[in-house]
Amino acid sequence: MTTIDGADWATYERDCVRDELTRVGRLLDTVIIPHLQGHPDDEWAQLVLGQLTSVKTALELLARGE
């Protein structure tokens, strides 16, 4: 197992959070939002949009280190 010091761990973790932020953003932009544009009354898609928007906001805060 590789030994990583604390600062390197924090950098690695922030990079992982940024990767997930990118994935969530792409999911919203390419799947969920277009779905809602075609089916604005779809309750499930509205729920997913709300939840993933919250996740995206939290990941943005984490990526900044707050």
- The whole-number average pLDDT for the span 12-39 is 96
25 belongs to a structural domain: yes
The model's pTM is 0.84
Domain count, the chain: 1
35 belongs to a structural domain: yes
* Structure confidence by residue, pLDDT tens digits, 31-54: 999 999 999 999 999 999 999 999
4 belongs to a structural domain: no
Residue 42's SS3 state is coil
* Contact yes or no for 65/14 (Cβ under 8 A): yes
pLDDT confidence of residue 36: 97
- The whole-number average pLDDT for the span 25-33 is 97
39 belongs to a structural domain: yes
Confidence of residue 66 (pLDDT cuts 50, 70, 90): low
Distance CA 53, CA 21 (A): 10
Distance CA 28, CA 8 (A): 30
pLDDT of 65 above 80: no
